[in-house]
Chain A
C-alpha cells in the first residue's frame, strides 16, 4: 500500500461532500505515480519491449530525486536527477534487449533487483541513515499548487496531461504509427527502411522519462524523502494497469484511477469496523488490483491482447 500521510492524518468527516472531495483527491494522489509509470510502460510495450523493470526505474528515480534535492536544496534538481537515473536504467534495458537481443523479462528483473540493492547501498554510503535520505523541507519538495489539503502538486497535473499526450503520440503521430507497427510486426517496419532498433530505443527512453517523473513524485512530492523499497510494488501495479487498460492510454488511466481508489479505500478502512461485516480485511482490497488483472488475463472480463511482437528480440535476417 502506498503511504498517504495526508489521508491518514485527516479526521473522518461525516459531511458527504467533503468525504467525496477528500477521497477523490486521495485517489488522484495515489494514482499519479501509477499513471506516469503506466504511460511510460505503454510506450515501451507498444514498441515490443516488455518492461517488468518499471518498479526498479521508479525506485532508482525516487532515490536520486530525494538525494539530489537534499544535496542541492532544489526540488527541480531532484526531478532532473530522477529522470537521469531512470534513463540510465532505461538505456541499460535497451542495450540488453535491443542491441544484445537479451531476454526482456530477465533484464527487467535484473533492473528491479539492482535498484533495490543499489539505492540502499548508495543511500547508506552517502547519508548514513540506514538507506534513507534526510527529511526534506518544503523548499526542497514539490508542494501543492491550489489546494493545500489535496496534495495537487505539479506532477499530479503532469500525470493527467500525459494521458492525452500519450494518446496523441501513439494514435495520431507518424512516430506513434511506426511505434505500433514495430510492436506488431518489426519485419514490415524494417522492410520500409526504418530502423527497428532506433524506434525501440526512443520508446525505451520515453519510458525512462515517465518512470523518472513517477519516482520523483514518490520521494519529493508525495513524501518528504526516500525510504528503502518505497515503491512497494507500484511499478507492478502500473504494469497491471497497462494490461488492464488493454495497452491503451485512456484504458490504462481508468485502471490507474480504479487501483488508486481501491488503495485510498483500503487506507480509509484500516481497522474500521463496518456494521454487519465486521472488520474489513484490508489485505483483500490491497490484493484486488492483482486479482482483477489475473481475472482479466484469464479472459473472464474481456480479452487483453498484448502487442504481437512484445518480448521478442528482433533479428535481421542475413
Chain B
C-alpha cells in the first residue's frame, strides 16, 4: 500500500466494498452458468421470480432465511471475540437432538405454553453444550478452536446416526426418523406450509445479540478481546471466561436452527435437517460484516437464493440446487478470503477523484 493512498471513506468501506465483493461472486457464477450452456440473465430472472414472485415463494424464502439468521449470528458472535467457530453444523445438529429428546419425552403431558419454550431452551442448551467442549479446550488447553470444531462436527454426525438408527427411530419406520411431535411440541405456522414463529425468535435473537455486544459490559469485553487480546487482558478481562461465553453463545444460536426445522416444519427428529446451514452461516456473517442487521440482510439474500435456486432447478434442467452451494462458496471466497481485493483500486479511484 503506497502512502499516497488515503483510507476509504466510511460509507465506501461499509457498503461499497461488500457490494463489489458480492457482485464479483455473482459475476463468477454467471460465467459458470454461461459456460454450462444456459443464459445467465434468464437464470437470474427465474431465480428472482422463484424467490419473491408469489406469497408462497416469499414464505419459503423467509423460512430459509430464518436458518441463515441463526447460523450467521452464531458465526458473527464468535468472530467478534476473534474466534472462528466452524462447528455451527454440529452444534445445530446436537441442538436438534436436545430439542427432539425433550419434546419426545414431554409432548404428551405438557401443554404448548410450557412445551414450546422448553423445546427452544433445550435446543439452545444442547447447542451451547456441544460448543462448550471446543471452547473449554481452546481456553484451558490451548487447542485450536478451528480444528476442534471441525472434529466435533464429525463426532456430532456419528452420534446422531447412532441415536437415530438405534434409539430414536419410530417403531416400524423404515427411515431413521423419530415419531411425530404432538401438537404441543410444534411451532404454529405463520404463512404457507413452512414459515413459522421461529422467525420471530430469530429476529429477537438479532436484537438481543445487538444489545449484548454493544450495550453491555460483557459484550464490550468480548469485542475488546477480539480487537486486541493484550489490551483486553490489561483491562482486566478474563479471556478464558470470555472465550467460553462467546463460543457457548455461538453454539446456542446455532442450536436454535432446530426450532425452525424440527418444531416449525418437520415436526419430528430426523437426519441431516441442518445440512449446510452451519457452513453457510460463515458466508452470512462475512457478508453481513458481523453486524446483526447485516446478518439479517445477508440471510434474506441467502434465503432468496435457496428458494429461488430450488425453483430454478425445476425450470432449467441443467442447473441444480448445488448452484446455490457454489454461490455460497464464492461469497465466502470473495467477501472473506479475498475481501481486500477491490480495496487498492478503490483507494486509487477515491484519491484520484479528491485530488
| B151 closest partner in A (C-beta) | A290
Flag if B333 contacts A114 (CB, 8 Å): yes
| A119 closest partner in B (C-beta) | B322
Flag if B336 contacts A103 (CB, 8 Å): yes
| Chain A residues closer than 8 Å to B280, beta-carbon distance | 113
Q: Is A160's CB within 8 Å of the partner chain B? A: no
Selected contact of A109 from candidates B142, B147, B323, B332, CB within 8 Å: B332
A86 → chain B, closest Cβ, in Å?
16
| Chain A residues closer than 8 Å to B329, beta-carbon distance | 110-118
Complex formed: what's the CA distance from A97 to B337 in Å? 7
Q: State how many residues of chain B have any CB contact under 8 Å with chain A.
A: 51
Complex formed: what's the CA distance from A112 to B337 in Å? 13
| A299 closest partner in B (C-beta) | B141
* Contact stretch, chosen from B154-162, B238-246, B296-304: B154-162
Q: Is A254's CB within 8 Å of the partner chain B? A: no
B74 → chain A, closest Cβ, in Å?
14
Flag if B151 contacts A293 (CB, 8 Å): yes
Flag if A107 contacts B336 (CB, 8 Å): yes
Flag if A110 contacts B137 (CB, 8 Å): no
Bitwise, A119-140 to B at CB < 8 A (1) or not (0) is: 0111011101001000000000
A71 → chain B, closest Cβ, in Å?
15
Q: Is B319's CB within 8 Å of the partner chain A? A: yes
Q: Is B52's CB within 8 Å of the partner chain A? A: no
A6 → chain B, closest Cβ, in Å?
24
Q: Is B45's CB within 8 Å of the partner chain A? A: no
| Chain B residues closer than 8 Å to A97, beta-carbon distance | 337
| Chain A residues closer than 8 Å to B340, beta-carbon distance | 100-102
Flag if A106 contacts B147 (CB, 8 Å): no
Complex formed: what's the CA distance from A243 to B32 in Å? 36
Flag if A117 contacts B332 (CB, 8 Å): no
Flag if B318 contacts A124 (CB, 8 Å): yes
Q: Is B224's CB within 8 Å of the partner chain A? A: no
* Contact stretch, chosen from A171-179, A181-189, A199-207, A279-287: A279-287
Flag if B141 contacts A109 (CB, 8 Å): no
Q: Is A96's CB within 8 Å of the partner chain B? A: yes
B168 → chain A, closest Cβ, in Å?
14
Q: Is B152's CB within 8 Å of the partner chain A? A: yes
Q: Is B341's CB within 8 Å of the partner chain A? A: yes
Contact of A107 with B162 at beta-carbon distance under 8 Å, contacts A293-B151, A294-B143, A299-B141 already known? no
Bitwise, A73-84 to B at CB < 8 A (1) or not (0) is: 000000000000
* Contact stretch, chosen from A11-19, A29-37, A232-240, A245-253: A232-240
Flag if B158 contacts A117 (CB, 8 Å): no
| Chain B residues closer than 8 Å to A111, beta-carbon distance | 329, 333
A181 → chain B, closest Cβ, in Å?
22
Flag if A114 contacts B161 (CB, 8 Å): no
Flag if B37 contacts A116 (CB, 8 Å): no
Complex formed: what's the CA distance from A120 to B196 in Å? 31
| Chain A residues closer than 8 Å to B133, beta-carbon distance | 294
Tell me how many residue pairs across A and B have CB atoms closer than 8 Å: 154
| A298 closest partner in B (C-beta) | B141
Q: Is A165's CB within 8 Å of the partner chain B? A: no
Flag if B36 contacts A283 (CB, 8 Å): no
Contact of A287 with B158 at beta-carbon distance under 8 Å, contacts A240-B151, A297-B144, A298-B143 already known? yes
A309 → chain B, closest Cβ, in Å?
14
Within 8 A of A (CB), among B194-244: none
| B137 closest partner in A (C-beta) | A298
Contact of A100 with B341 at beta-carbon distance under 8 Å, contacts A113-B332, A117-B326, A131-B322 already known? yes
Within 8 A of A (CB), among B132-156: 133, 137, 141-144, 146-148, 150-152, 154-155
| Chain A residues closer than 8 Å to B338, beta-carbon distance | 95-96, 100, 102, 107
A201 → chain B, closest Cβ, in Å?
16
Flag if A287 contacts B36 (CB, 8 Å): no
Q: Is B16's CB within 8 Å of the partner chain A? A: no
Q: Is A105's CB within 8 Å of the partner chain B? A: yes
B342 → chain A, closest Cβ, in Å?
11
Flag if A114 contacts B318 (CB, 8 Å): no
Flag if A102 contacts B339 (CB, 8 Å): yes
| Chain A residues closer than 8 Å to B4, beta-carbon distance | none
Contact of A236 with B158 at beta-carbon distance under 8 Å, contacts A106-B286, A117-B328 already known? no
| A1 closest partner in B (C-beta) | B158
Q: Is B84's CB within 8 Å of the partner chain A? A: yes
Q: Is A67's CB within 8 Å of the partner chain B? A: no
Complex formed: what's the CA distance from A294 to B152 in Å? 8
| Chain A residues closer than 8 Å to B152, beta-carbon distance | 290, 294
Complex formed: what's the CA distance from A105 to B339 in Å? 14
| Chain A residues closer than 8 Å to B158, beta-carbon distance | 283-284, 286-287, 290
Contact of A117 with B147 at beta-carbon distance under 8 Å, contacts A96-B337, A125-B36 already known? no
Other CB < 8 Å A-B pairs besides A102-B336, A113-B280, A294-B152, 8 of them?
A: A100-B340, A110-B329, A118-B329, A120-B325, A122-B36, A124-B322, A125-B37, A297-B141
> Which B residues fall within an 8 A CB radius of A?
1, 32, 36-37, 84, 86, 133, 137, 141-144, 146-148, 150-152, 154-155, 158-159, 161-162, 166, 279-280, 282-283, 286, 317-320, 322-330, 332-333, 336-341
> Which A residues fall within an 8 A CB radius of B?
50, 52, 92, 95-97, 100-107, 109-118, 120-122, 124-126, 128, 131, 233, 236, 239-240, 243, 281, 283-284, 286-287, 290-291, 293-294, 297-299, 306, 318
Can you name 13 A-B residue pairings with CB atoms under 8 Å? A52-B146, A96-B333, A100-B337, A100-B341, A102-B339, A104-B337, A106-B286, A113-B325, A113-B329, A118-B322, A233-B154, A239-B147, A294-B152
